[in-house]
Structure 1
């Protein structure tokens, strides 16, 4: 497995993918290798190092590795590759692992709207790319569904789902830009914020703490309450990608000689995406909220509630 520049201790999808690889290797009694990238200059040599060590499946983590993965797959047709969070490569030896996170983010948007006391919730992203905006689309649509069901008018700031534009930091680093972007959402009186893009949530958490206001946060990728306890007191919930089961499934396929290039698409139905528990906020949300979310989830799974995004993966 080759990480992106976030590293395997990012409390997010690199870490989750690596944990899935470890679990799969243990349960299947197969060996694994890893290479941690510090910058994009490491991507190609790290992938080549996996090939040179005779790995017959190389898993790359994140869309940033797409070009390097595509080139390596073309140069090594006898090696199988899987790439997490990218569906741009058309090759017989490359399997995309992608997630319809709009489905789970829809639930998060509904929950955020229900919890909000100011009637304003916000979101912002790292970069304006499909794997980020799909969260923001689902979140905004979940708020709209809440408003329609409850005759409310909770407002979303930071993302206009119809115009497909909003607030972005320009990268995935926890830095002053990310903190200032979060502050911009706070200044608009939002009391629930969903930062989308790896470690930028850490900057949002700092902005929330510095504000002294009662503001909750929605995590993404992992159950951030569990993966980063330093911010758990702020976490309303998280929109989770089932990175561990997805990686496990693909490794098992390869080990069983059943590898193919058909994309693995994580959905609510196959537990490839999901909403984390409310944890410490369980006593703070409306008593009927969990039941409502369970019904909405069932509706999304059976198709009676449609959740779509221009960024949704094709299934």
Structure 2
């Protein structure tokens, strides 16, 4: 081959390689299918909602080859900047946000990063093409907690302490009240919040304990604790007040009060997290809005062995709880202001 044509061929090849490299660099960053980010609603160690989400992640890590990165409320706002600079295998294919407080944040991220899939837990109505909104309604299991409280109460006065006021917590309150009054129409149900308008209510056991002490002094003998880590304050109050009991939430909290925690209304956040990761990895992940609860086995009652004798009494109300949950969910779709 003529030397002139050889040099020309090399130059042409080099130009082609350079053009391809530039074109590839201009393409959107391809997320790594096996990298998952998760944003918790509180720090791990709450013995409740967040720990259940982590258990789902841990189960997925055992089952699949998976790289993960975890965020908490104090650092989740760094996520957009991280996504803008992260490439290759460190870039997530799935981001999980856990908690109603992230609804706006998740929606914004999903719009900015359509190449990433999102699992939004307890963020009603945020579903889209790349976002699965997985709402776990706690109406049904809270209904059964109300049945249990009314069945166990000797004073005819029961209470519920919530971390804060929100649509998600409204399901706890409504279900618990309806269940208790199904058993005893004249029972008093006293609601209270640790911090009504801030998520700090899920991490303040001192204030929760003070609220519980006041309730117990006023004759409430069973409290449904729906406040994350703040539940431990309720349990401390029950422990120091004879004849007073509590019902836990999200995870089995009987070990935290084996003498006074009657049962726990569990919310299988772990199952939702695990299923979302598995679906993402096997290519079956879809967006949209999902609502699960008692009928799907995602919520339920787990009894303290010491008080397992209540199982038969409460289980007799399960069908009614399921039917009431269905009606409750239908009623939420109606454009009626509370």
Q: What is the TM-score with the length of structure 2 in the denominator?
A: 0.78
Equivalent position of 2:274 in the other structure: 248
Equivalent position of 1:162 in the other structure: none
User: Would you say 1:281 and 2:307 are equivalent positions?
Assistant: yes
**CA offsets, 1:45-74, max 9 Å, x none?**
146547832211111111222233222212
Aligned residues: 290
**What secondary structure sits across from 2:228 in the alignment?**
coil
Equivalent position of 1:182 in the other structure: 212
- Per-residue deviation at 1:168? 4.5
User: Would you say 1:14 and 2:35 are equivalent positions?
Assistant: no
Matches within 5 A, 1:90-101: 90-101=127-138
2:247 aligns with one of 210, 214, 218: 218
**What secondary structure sits across from 1:72 in the alignment?**
helix
Equivalent position of 1:154 in the other structure: 187
Aligned mates of 2:313, 2:243 — CA distance in 1: 24
Aligned mates of 2:176, 2:243 — CA distance in 1: 20
**Judging changes above 3 Å, is the alpha-carbon distance between structure 1 residues 183 and 231 closer, same or farther for their aligned structure 2 residues?**
same
**Greater Rg over alpha carbons, structure:** 2
**Judging changes above 3 Å, is the alpha-carbon distance between structure 1 residues 174 and 307 closer, same or farther for their aligned structure 2 residues?**
farther
Equivalent position of 1:109 in the other structure: 146
User: Would you say 1:66 and 2:82 are equivalent positions?
Assistant: no
Structure 1 contact 134–312 (Cα < 8 Å) conserved: no
**CA offsets, 1:4-62, max 9 Å, x none?**
352122211211111112212332x23131323252xx112146547832211111111
Aligned mates of 1:37, 1:311 — CA distance in 2: 34
Aligned mates of 1:25, 1:313 — CA distance in 2: 37
Write 1 or 2 for the structure with the bigger share of helix. 2
Equivalent position of 1:296 in the other structure: 317
1:269 aligns with one of 272, 295, 304: 295
**Judging changes above 3 Å, is the alpha-carbon distance between structure 1 residues 24 and 50 closer, same or farther for their aligned structure 2 residues?**
farther
Aligned mates of 1:10, 1:222 — CA distance in 2: 10
- Per-residue deviation at 1:218? 0.7
Equivalent position of 2:284 in the other structure: 258
Structure 2 contact 246–260 (Cα < 8 Å) conserved: yes
Q: What residue ranges of structure 2 are gaps of 5+ in the alignment?
A: 1-36
Q: What is the TM-score with the length of structure 1 in the denominator?
A: 0.83
**Judging changes above 3 Å, is the alpha-carbon distance between structure 1 residues 239 and 100 closer, same or farther for their aligned structure 2 residues?**
same
Highest RCO, 1 vs 2 (Cα 8 Å, sep ≥ 6): 1
Comparing 64-73 and 191-200, the one that deviates more: 64-73
Equivalent position of 2:61 in the other structure: 25
**CA offsets, 1:68-88, max 9 Å, x none?**
322221211100011212114
**CA offsets, 1:126-172, max 9 Å, x none?**
11101112111111100111125xxxx332122xxxxxxx5443322
Comparing 62-71 and 189-198, the one that deviates more: 62-71
Aligned mates of 1:265, 1:309 — CA distance in 2: 9
**Judging changes above 3 Å, is the alpha-carbon distance between structure 1 residues 114 and 309 closer, same or farther for their aligned structure 2 residues?**
farther
Write 1 or 2 for the structure with the bigger share of strand. 2
**Judging changes above 3 Å, is the alpha-carbon distance between structure 1 residues 31 and 290 closer, same or farther for their aligned structure 2 residues?**
same
Q: What residue ranges of structure 1 are gaps of 5+ in the alignment?
A: 159-165
Equivalent position of 1:126 in the other structure: 163
